[in-house]
Each structure stands twice: as C-alpha cells, then as structure tokens.
Structure 1
Amino acid sequence: MSKIPFLQLNEQSITKLQYITIMICFLMNVLDGMDVLIISYCAPAIATSWQIGPEALGIVFSVGLAGMALGALVIAPYADHIGRKKMILISAFLMGASVFCTGFAQTVPQLILLRLLSGLGIGSMLATTASLTSEYLPNRSKDFWVSFVLAGYPIGAIIVGYVAASVIPVSGWRMMFKLAGIASLVTIPIIFFFLSESIEFYLSKQPRNALQKVNRILEKLKVSPLSELPNKSNKSLIISVDQLLSNTYRISTLKLWTALFFAFGCLYFLISWIPKLATNAGLSMELAIYSGTVFNVGAFFGIVVQGYISSKIGLKKTIAFFLGTTAFLMAIFNVFVGSDFILLIFGLLGFTLQGGFVGLYAVAARLYPAEFRTTGVGWAIGAGRLGGVLGPALGGILIGWGLSMSTNFMIFAVPAFLAGVVTYFISSKEIP
C-alpha cells in the first residue's frame, strides 16, 4: 500500500475534513452511550408499568450486553469488506430504529429482541468509529483523537440521565425511547452527506472508481493526488480471526484481549454496583445516584487527558499508569469511606479507569493493518466484554456474601492492576 498520502498527513496540520470526521464519530459515540444507558433509567418505570420482577429485567440487561458483544464480533468486521462509512450508516439505522420501536414494545420478549438489535448496532458502531478515526489522523496525534472520539460514550451516559429525569416523570418511559431513537435516526443524513470513507479502505480493497474517490478526499485533505493505485493485496476477501492469531499478531492479540478482559470486568463492576455500594457505605440515595454521574464526568476528562499524554510519552506507558493508579485508589478506598472525599474518589476512579480502558481501543486500532483493522478492534471489544459480563456477576456474589464496599474494591483492584501490566508488555512496533 502506498504510504505517500499518510506521510503527507503526518507532516501537516489537521484539515476541516478531518475535524468533520472526528466530530461525527464523537457524536455517534455520544448516541452509543445514550442508547446503552437508557434501559437503566427506564427500567424502574417499565417494571412498575408491566408489573415485572428483577429477573426479567436482568435478562433484558444481559441481552443488550450480548448484542453489543455480537455487534463487535460479527457485524463490525464487515466494515473491512464494505467500508467504514457504510457500516456506520448501518449501525446508526440499527440503533435508531430498534430504540425508537422499543417505545412501542408491549411484551418482555419484544423488549428483549429490540435490546438485542440495538446492542448489535452499538457494538459495531464503537469498533468502526475507532477504526475510521485512527485512519484519518496523523500518527503524532492519532491516540488523542481516537480517545477523544470514544469520550463521547460517557457524555451520552450523562446526557441521557438528565433527560430521563425530566422526560420520564412527565411523558413516561416510552417517550424516552422514542426521543433517543429519533436522535440516532436524524444522524443518518449527516453521516451520508458529510462523512468520508477511509482512504486506507479504498487503497486496500480498491472498489470501482477507487482512484477518483481517493483523489477527491486527498484534495480536501490538501494532499497531492495519486496517479495510480498501489498493487492490490492478494489476501483473501474473507477476514477471519485466524489472521488476528497468525504468527505476526498472536502474542500481541492475546495480550490485548487479556488486558481488555480485566479492564472490562473492573469497569462494569463499578458501573453496575457503585450506586448500591455507595448506599451500603452510608451515602444517601440521592448522593449514591449522583456518584454514578460523578464517575462518568471523571471518565470524560480522563479519556481526553489520557489521549493527550499518550501522544507525548507513549500509549502503553500511559495506559499502564492510569490502570495502575486505578488499582491503587481501589486498594486504599477504605481510607475514604465515611469522609467528604468519597465522591471525589468516584470521580478519580472514572478518570483513571475509563481513561486507561479507552486507551486500549487506541492500542487495537494501531495494532492491526487496514485490511482487518475493524475486525481486530471488534474482536478485542468482544473478547473484553466477557469480562464485562463476569465482573458484575462476581460483584453480585461478593456483595451477597456480605463483603463490604472496601473489600470489593480491594478485590477488583487486582484485575485493574493486571490489565495495566499486560498492556505495558504488548510488543508491537506500531504501538509507542
């Protein structure tokens, strides 16, 4: 593949087209965060309206997470065949249509099916936006912008909480889903008209009129046009996990999956149980709910700061430091129980854990070539989500045993620490 366009991108300032790409991908991750968390805010109203118990709601929650894993593992890899832009359009439609239709659901099976479909869109959107952002930005600032785009996720989580607090008491939970679905659907024309396809995709797959399409993009990027396309890769059009586990990538792939497994487990434990554990620790219900918001606010700033530091000192060192700091804060959490600093610690945990966690997406985007980059990112997310399923379940068992908040935090400090260590020892010349 020709490196000339990318060498020129590395030498010049970011253009309007690149900023448009960043902001659209950021917006889609804001909507991702909204569509994931909306069920949590609507669940109490649904339970009251339908007279269903926590067991049924637990299935709804789990199916949504399963859909996200399947979206990353099965749907997102098709972006390596059909293009990043088409996959983002498909994901936006899946998210918007399924979330909007959820507002009309009448039974639990219907709700389960619609959450599965929305999960498919959310999972594929996360992987594809990370890949596209990575492919449009210069090497020196790639890690920052990938992290920035993914920082839209906690922003969406915060926004949906505030909107739900206003909408659900007045208009009901159905209106909340309808509004969220419309918000995703209206982005489809924005994506279609303003988002450009990946240059690397055009050069590697070479669809019809690829040279003209590449040169139109290069003109907007203020980069010299190509006179001809590079030699097309003879690799099979069927991208499989075997390529992620080939001799070149096997060790790095397994380390990345392991790091994401531990990081997902720790993160979803905190997301799922912070309000409950905060209540157990003596906080009022209002402050316990607020603790989740503080966690997500910290996450946004942590993700952005992590991206900036990574561009200066390297991705692996930064992630290891952030996750190591998370482990330290969780291990000494008992010091802050009952003090006025407990909400500050929740914010710091969001800052360090989510900052380090999202950095692993940037690692995945750097690790693999364009031919199967979205496949690599998608499988990394999918492998990590197994930890996301096990973390909250293990937390529930430990809490059921009567273990204190501090003891739970000390236990889950271990996977945070291991995630940082494993990340530090990922070996790849593509990852600083």
Structure 2
Amino acid sequence: MSTITQSLIDERDKLTSIQIGTILVCFFMNMLDGMDVLVISYTAPAISKSWGIGPETLGIVFSSGLLGMTLGTLFVAPYADRIGRKNMILLSAIIMSIGIYLTAWAGDVTQLVIYRFISGIGIGCMLASTAALTAEFTPLKSRNFWVSFVVAGYPVGAVLSGLAAAKVIPSEGWEKMYIYAGIASVIAIPLILFFLSESIDFYLKMQPGGALQKINKIIDRLGGDHLTSLPVKEESQLAIPIGKLLSGKYKKPTLQLWLALFMAFAALYFMTSWIPKLATDAGLSLELAIYAGTVFNLGAFFGIVTQGYFSSKYGLKKTIGIILILTAILMCCFGFFVGSDWILVVFGMLGFGIQGGFVGLYAFAARMYPSEFKTTGIGWSMGAGRMGAIFGPGLAGVLLGMGVTIGTSFLIYGIPALIAGIMTMRNTSEDVD
C-alpha cells in the first residue's frame, strides 16, 4: 500500500462509514455469488428426476459452471487492476444476472451447460475483485478478518438460497429458483453504482481521468488531508503483470499457494456440488437433502468468521493449515456416520472446516501481493483453485457412476484437503505470517 493509505487506513483503529459501506456491499455481492453457485446443487436432484439424467451428466453441468469461474478468474478478473475493482464488480454482477436468469429457460443439458458457464464467468470475477477491494480498504492488523468476513457472504447466500429452494422447488419447480436468483442479482447493480467506492491505491497507480478529485473525495470520507498532486505514473503499471507472480520472491510461495488452493477447491466442490445428491442417495427426502447443503453452508459461515478471528491472532499459515488437516481427518471418517442421526451435524462440521480453510487462502493471497497486481494475484490463485474445482465434481460423478460408496468418496477427497493444509503451513511467503 502507498504511504497515503497506510496513514489513512492502516494506522487507524476505527472504521469509517466508507470502509463499512465497502465491506457490506462486498459481503452482499459474495452472498449473490454463493446463491448463484449453489443453486445448481440444490436443483440438481429435481433436474435429474425431471430430465432423467445420471450423475455423469450432472458432473458435466457442475464442471461447466466451474470452468466459467476458472476462465473468469484467470483472464477477466486481472483487468480489475486496469479498469478498477468497482467496475469489475459491476461487470461481474451484470454477467451473473444474465447467466442465472437464462438458466430458468434451459430446455436441455446443452443449454444448461452454456448458461452455467456464463454465470461462472461473472462469479469468478466477483470473488477476486471484492477480496482485493476489501483488502485495500481495511487496516492491516484486522485485514485477515475483514477479507474472510466479506467472503463469508458466499456461504450465507448459499444458506438463504438453500432455505428458499426447500420451499420453492417442491411447490413451484426448479426453474423458479433461477428466476428469483436472477432478480436478486439485478437488484444488486444499483448498490454497486451508488454505494461502492474505488480504492485510493488504484487511483494512485492507474490515474484515470479525474483521479485526483476522486482520491480527495475518498480522503474526505476517511478524515484525511487533501492531496495537491499525483505521484509520477510508472508506464510498467499499464500492463497486467501476470509474469510478476512467477518471478523473484513471489515464485515459490505462489506455486505453493496454487497447489494448496487446487487441492482445497477439489475437496470443497466435491462436497458443495454433490451433498444434496449424496444425501438423497443416503435415504434422505428431497427437502432434507437440500437442508443438508444448507447446514453445510451454515457451518461454513461460522468456520470462515472463526478462521478470520484466529488468523488475526495467530497468523494465517498456522490457522488455515490446522483447520484443513482436521477437516481431512473428519472426511476420512465420514463413512462411519452414513445412515446415522449425526449425518447433518457432520455436514455442518465439514462446512466449518473446508470453507473456513479455503477462504483463509483468499486472505493469504490478498496479503501476499502488492496493490499494483493484487487482483491479478488473487484471480490467478483462485484460477488455480478452480482447476481443482473442475476436477473435483467431475471425478466424483465418474466414481459415483462406477458404484463407489459415499464413505469411500469422502475418504478419497480427504487426501487433497490434507495436502492443502500441509502446503499452507509450509508456504515460504515472507509477507504472510
């Protein structure tokens, strides 16, 4: 961060209204993200029954959305470092709205795959941009918590959409869920336009038209002194600096972070995509199966907030590593709980652990990279993770189609969670504790 933002943000304890507003809007955007991602999981059993499609085909549908997220984070989100975090969040919301609403009118699997892919592009851009903007508006000593808190909007949205799905799908059909989700996404657009601010660091680095006036307007709301001029702009900052992620001191910790995210995402999206379907296969009713996904994401919210708190006290590496390793152990023991009354509790505990751990890796990326390529760093880290997200549900579909049991599936996916925890604890970044 610049010395200006350090004095205005890092050296103050109390958040101002503009900081609180930024946090809340970003939290809400991630709520929509969670809703848009998980709605396909909640509607999957109904779609499968209505269209007569098997788990292998559903795996392709799940992976198409995740492919869109991957491409969005890798090739679209980095442009936030050029056009601004706010503009990218706005663009993401528009893309999400279009994709999610069109899904309601899908007439076959091909159309469903296309619309989920479009939604995925917007979703992938959203998370990277909100994490970067939050990191640039919050004090250093509480930044881990606030980035984790903002991303915690994701499971909150998933929980709310799960509660809605349990009521809407049986009575109105799965298509209605996408109509309601599309309307919610459209409503969010005015919030971005009128209540979200761009970061000072972006204006200082890229210096778009009227940058000085915009910076001073933000400084007024932060209670600081006006700038009289802008620093000299470096021409190298005009390019999207992807190559910087794999050079110098960032090379080794970046590769370690990417591996951890790949493994964490594979385990996470195996569960988020398949929990409702696995729950119905285990004998639960459609409504209870949807609630299983809801319980998972409710646990996720508390896991993310808890992780953010302990990371601020004890450091990201140790906190995230321990959470992911404990989650891996629980996944390996999952088979013992199949068919028991404890199954919903276990789903909640798994959500607490896997989401708490992988969201902490977002905060890890936000701390590791400087402002001039922060969104690029977060986006490419998430992109590496999304590769695992594509791999996870797709392989699970094949395994389940082959007759692999639920307990064995969780045992298999406990291995990536374990690797993610170990790689996080061993990360060599000097900028993250």
Scaled to the shorter chain, the TM-score interval is over 0.9
Alpha carbons of 1:119 and 1:396: their partners in 2 closer, same or farther (altered >3 Å)? closer
Displacement of 1:397 in angstroms is 4.3
Pairing 1:259–2:260 present: yes
Q: 1:118 to 1:287 in 2, by over 3 A?
A: closer
Mapped partners of 1:26, 1:165: distance in 2: 24
CA contact (8 A) 1:5 1:223 kept: no
TM-score normalised by length of structure 1: 0.92
Within 5 A, what are the aligned runs for 1:46-195?
A: 46=47, 57-195=58-196
Instruction: Give, in whole Å, the separation in 2 of the partners of 1:131 and 1:252.
Output: 18
Distance 1:138 1:333, change over 3 A: same
Query: Separation in 2 of the partners of 1:48 and 1:329?
Result: 31
The verdict on how the C-alpha distance between 1:41 and 1:284 changes in structure 2, with shifts beyond 3 A counting, is closer
2-side partners of 1:21 and 1:113: how far apart?
32
CA distance in 2, matches of 1:180, 1:258: 33
Structure 2 equivalent of residue 202 of structure 1: 203
| Alpha-carbon displacement from aligned partner over 1:51-85 (angstroms, at most 9, x marks no partner) | 66666544333221111111111110110110001
Percent identity of paired positions between Structure 1 and Structure 2: 58
2: CA distance, partners of 1:165 / 1:282 = 17
Give the equivalent residue in structure 1 for 2:352.
Answer: 351
| 1:233 and 2:231 correspond | no
> Aligned partners of 1:278, 1:167: CA distance in 2, in Å?
19
Paired position in structure 1 for 2:389: 388
Count of matched residue pairs: 432
Gaps of 5+ in 1: none
Distance 1:349 1:390 in 2: 20
Q: Separation in 2 of the partners of 1:50 and 1:402?
A: 21
The residue identity in structure 2 corresponding to 1:7 is S
TM-score by length of 2: 0.92
CA contact (8 A) 2:58 2:397 kept: no
- Report the RMSD for the aligned CA atoms in angstroms: 2.3
Q: Distance in 2 between matches of 1:302 and 1:388?
A: 20
Q: How far 1:162 sits from its partner (Å)?
A: 1.9
The answer on 1:11 being equivalent to 2:11 is: yes
The answer to whether the 8 A contact 1:244-1:253 is kept is yes
Partner of 2:2: 2
Give the unaligned 5+ runs of structure 2: none
User: Taking structure 1 as reference, are residues 8 and 380 closer, same or farther at Cα in structure 2, changes over 3 Å only?
Assistant: same
Provide the C-alpha distance between the structure 2 equivalents of 1:144 and 1:268, rounded to a whole number of angstroms: 23
Is 1:331 aligned to residue 332 of structure 2? yes
Change in Cα spacing, 1:347 to 1:222, as seen in structure 2 (3 Å) is same
Q: 1:177 Cα deviation (Å)?
A: 1.8
Paired residues of 2:260 and 2:424 also in contact (CA < 8 A)? yes
Amino acid corresponding to residue 321 of structure 2 in structure 1: A
Closer/same/farther in 2, CA of residues 278 and 187 from structure 1, 3 Å limit: closer
Sort the Cα spacing of 1:57 and 1:198 in 2 relative to 1 into closer, same or farther, 3 A: same
> What letter matches 1:91 in structure 2?
S
Deviates more, 1:248-257 or 1:237-246: 237-246
* Alpha carbons 2:40, 2:62 under 8 Å: kept: yes
Q: Which runs of 4+ in 1 moved over 6 A?
A: none
Are the aligned partners of 1:5 and 1:224 in contact in 2 as well (CA < 8 Å)?
Answer: no
